[in-house]
């Protein structure tokens, strides 16, 4: 008989980065989740996808979660070899079953959710998974994603401030007083690489100074319950949203319409989703300002980040 199959179910939240002025540093975890079941099997790679991303289910070893799992197992083997444990080697086979609810290429952290799911699953399935602490998991996720603003809230939940140092990424988790937001998701997608490509190499000093002040104010507004008036000022951005507007004119227009009505609204991450710091009932009362063509998602701030769902399935079967 072969070795018993080992499996785990990981749940990862959607995230919204930047939140206006907090470019590449602020992030918020949201109550929209992907569920990823990972099983270590005897041979081959099998992938089943329900929902978003079904078109990439045939990528095999090239699938993002599979690549992250492999990389995380390598990292854990290195930690085991340097410590009290013994390397386990790469699993011969991997089976993925993904139920994806986070829209892809819309600025809600779908790639970060996949990366974090792979790392959390590897920590649960590797014999020495406890050797990779949360700081090491953040560093690995950031190395893979390229920036920490989405992976940080995906790992930690709540509101996060993330930054990088010579030794890797770090984060601070804060408890926001804002509990509800509304995400307006369009049909069209926008690749993060394209959105980043629209940013200039330099910006005016006045714009940089304004954003620094607004980012500090935004942290105070989100954690101190300072009200919509302050939050409207705090979400003003001069570093990235205007430069990216040509790639998502409808999103830019919606942000302006909402803000003109007093609703603190921003581009979520690299877009084109629009995030409004409000609740569904208030948005419903101004439907004419929102217009058609948007999927409205009332969401809560997710206080918990990525986690293993206990007993479903068991870690060892």
- Residue by residue, pLDDT tens for the chain (317 residues) are 455 578 999 999 999 999 999 999 999 999 999 999 999 998 899 999 999 888 887 888 899 999 999 999 999 999 998 877 778 889 999 999 999 999 999 999 999 999 999 999 999 999 999 999 999 999 999 999 999 999 999 999 999 999 999 999 999 999 999 999 999 999 898 887 888 888 999 999 999 999 999 999 999 999 997 877 899 999 999 999 999 999 999 999 999 999 998 999 999 999 999 999 998 778 777 666 777 789 999 999 999 999 999 875 544 33
> Is the pTM of the predicted complex or chain greater than 0.95?
no
Q: Residue 286: exposed, middle, or buried by beta-carbon count in 10 A (0-12, 13-18, 19+)?
A: middle
Nearest to 108 by CA among 32, 50, 198, 37: 32
Annotated binding-site residues read: 103-113
- CA–centroid distance for 276 within its chain: 17
* Count of C-beta atoms within a 10 Å radius of residue 140: 24
Q: How many CB atoms lie within 10 A of CB 97?
A: 17
Instruction: Copy the structure tokens of residue 225.
Output: 């319950």
- How big is the CA angle at 167 (ends 165 and 169), to the nearest 5 degrees? 55
pLDDT at 246: 93
CA geometry: angle at 182 spanning 177 and 144, to 5°? 85
Query: Contact at 8 Å (CB) between 72 and 306?
Result: no
Which 3 state secondary structure label does DSSP give 93? strand
DSSP string, 175-216: --S--EEEEEEESS---HHHHHHTS-S---HHHHHHHHHHHH
Tell me the domains of the chain and their CATH numbers: 6-175+302-308 (3.30.230.10), 180-300 (3.30.70.890)
- Residue 191 has a pLDDT of 81
3-state secondary structure of 286: coil
Identify which of 121, 36, 107, 137 has the alpha carbon closest to the alpha carbon of residue 274: 107
Half-sphere exposure of 220 (CA within 13 A, CB side): 12
- Structural contact between residues 116 and 155, judged by C-beta atoms closer than 8 angstroms: yes
Annotated binding site for ATP: 103-113
User: CA dihedral defined by 138, 140, 145, 150, rounded to 10 degrees?
Assistant: -10
- Beta partners for residue 183, in sequence order: 275, 297
- Residue 102 to residue 224: CA distance in whole angstroms: 29
The pLDDT assigned to 84 comes to: 75
State the pLDDT at residue 207.
Answer: 94
Which segments of the chain does DSSP mark as H helices, in order?
A: 64-82, 110-125, 134-145, 151-156, 192-197, 205-224, 228-234, 241-244, 249-260, 280-284, 287-290
CA-wise closest residue to 289 among 248, 247, 252, 257: 257
CA distance 271 to 94: 32
Q: Which two tokens stand for residue 278?
A: 């409000």
- Pairing verdict, β 93-100 and 44-51: parallel
The pairing of beta strand 294-300 with beta strand 180-186 = antiparallel
């Amino acid at each position: 008989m072969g070795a018993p199959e080992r499996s785990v179910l990981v749940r990862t939240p959607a995230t919204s980065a930047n939140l206006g002025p907090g470019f590449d540093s602020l992030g918020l975890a949201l109550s929209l989740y992907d569920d990823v079941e990972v099983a270590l099997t005897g041979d081959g790679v099998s992938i089943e996808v329900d929902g978003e991303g079904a078109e990439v289910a045939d990528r095999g070893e090239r699938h993002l979660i599979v690549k992250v799992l492999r990389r995380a197992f390598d990292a854990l083997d290195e930690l085991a070899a340097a410590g009290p444990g013994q390397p386990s080697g790469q699993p011969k086979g991997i089976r993925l079953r993904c139920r994806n609810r986070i829209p892809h290429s819309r600025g809600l952290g779908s790639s970060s959710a996949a990366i974090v799911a792979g790392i959390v699953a590897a920590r649960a399935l590797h014999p020495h998974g406890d050797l990779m602490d949360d700081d090491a998991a953040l560093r690995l996720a950031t190395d893979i994603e390229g920036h920490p603003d989405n992976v940080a809230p995906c790992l930690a939940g709540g509101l996060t401030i993330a930054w990088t140092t010579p030794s890797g990424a770090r984060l601070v988790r804060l408890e926001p007083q804002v509990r509800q937001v509304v995400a307006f998701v369009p049909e069209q997608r926008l690749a993060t690489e394209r959105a980043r490509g629209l940013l200039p190499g330099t910006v005016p000093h006045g714009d940089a100074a304004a954003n620094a002040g607004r980012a500090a104010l935004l942290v105070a507004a989100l954690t101190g319950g300072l009200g919509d008036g302050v939050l409207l000022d705090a979400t003003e951005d001069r570093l990235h949203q205007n430069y990216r507007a040509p790639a998502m004119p409808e999103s830019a227009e919606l942000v302006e319409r909402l803000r003109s009505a007093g609703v603190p609204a921003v581009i979520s991450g690299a877009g084109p989703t629009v995030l409004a710091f409000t609740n569904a009932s208030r948005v419903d009362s101004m439907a004419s300002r929102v217009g058609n063509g948007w999927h409205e998602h009332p969401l809560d701030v997710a206080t918990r980040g990525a986690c293993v769902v206990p007993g479903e399935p068991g870690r060892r079967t």
